Structure 1
């Protein structure tokens, strides 16, 4: 698995993002390429921007017990897997804006590095290791970039 904290790996992910076009089509699923980029941005919004509500205590326990491992392990996501409601993008998005936002988030994460993320609190899963953060970031990006053939 790629390591989002390594400059070489994050540059490779950014190259794949730059290979996307406004008319890139998904090999599976129903999102447009701009919606997919916005969808990928949600993960980073939850880290850097205070725009998503924290799950209540009960929901957080459910997420930790039943969802966390599937998100932070190294096993790839299956095609057409379900997603949390805040990740569903239904409206049209601007491809160039979403692409630039995603690249900026990836660069920021890489520059902050593993030390910044070791033991950092996740909005949904509680404290994660840097490896778990990387798996979550890299696996999600790879899944959706593969979905769009890049």
Structure 2
């Protein structure tokens, strides 16, 4: 598997993000390209301790039970997401895209970029877990927009 912590692999994702335009259309799902950039950015800054997501007990338990299956397969289309990651307004595309690029590139600094080891939904996280989650999630949404 490719690594968010590897400079070359990290740049591969950034190159794909850079291909997005305000006119990029989703192949599936309801999000616009600006909403997708906001969504993916907010999900990845959880790793930096910059987005505190509140998850009730039932969902924390569910996340821990599903973790291995989800982390070791492709993300499914139209999967449910936490309310903190749902964006329905119109956003400045360039600002959202640049924020996503800036934050994704932080992973290339190495493992020290990760500031939390206990994800609010998935539970205890290793660096390999963070790599799988972040790579698969961002890749999933870039494929959603054809890049």
Task: State the TM bucket, normalised to the shorter chain.
Answer: 0.7 to 0.9
The yes-or-no answer on 1:84 pairing with 2:98 is no
Aligned length: 147
Residues in 2 aligned to 1:17 and 1:115: alpha-carbon distance in whole angstroms = 23
Residues in 2 aligned to 1:81 and 1:138: alpha-carbon distance in whole angstroms = 16
Partner of 1:110: 108
* 4+ long deviations beyond 6 Å: none
Structure 1 residues 104 and 71: alpha-carbon distance in aligned structure 2, compared to 1, 3 A threshold: farther
Give ranges in structure 1 of 5+ residues lacking alignment: none
The TM-score normalised by the length of structure 2 is: 0.87
Residues in 2 aligned to 1:128 and 1:145: alpha-carbon distance in whole angstroms = 24
RMSD over equivalenced CA pairs, Å: 2.1
Q: CA deviation at 1:104?
A: 1.1
Structure 1 residues 49 and 147: alpha-carbon distance in aligned structure 2, compared to 1, 3 A threshold: same
1:38–1:98 contact (8 Å) kept in structure 2 = yes
Structure 1 residues 110 and 123: alpha-carbon distance in aligned structure 2, compared to 1, 3 A threshold: farther
After superposition, where does 1:1-150 map in structure 2 within 5 Å? 1-66=1-66, 68-73=67-72, 75-111=73-109, 113-114=110-111, 117=114, 120-150=117-147
SS of 1:80 mapped into structure 2: coil
The TM-score normalised by the length of structure 1 is: 0.86
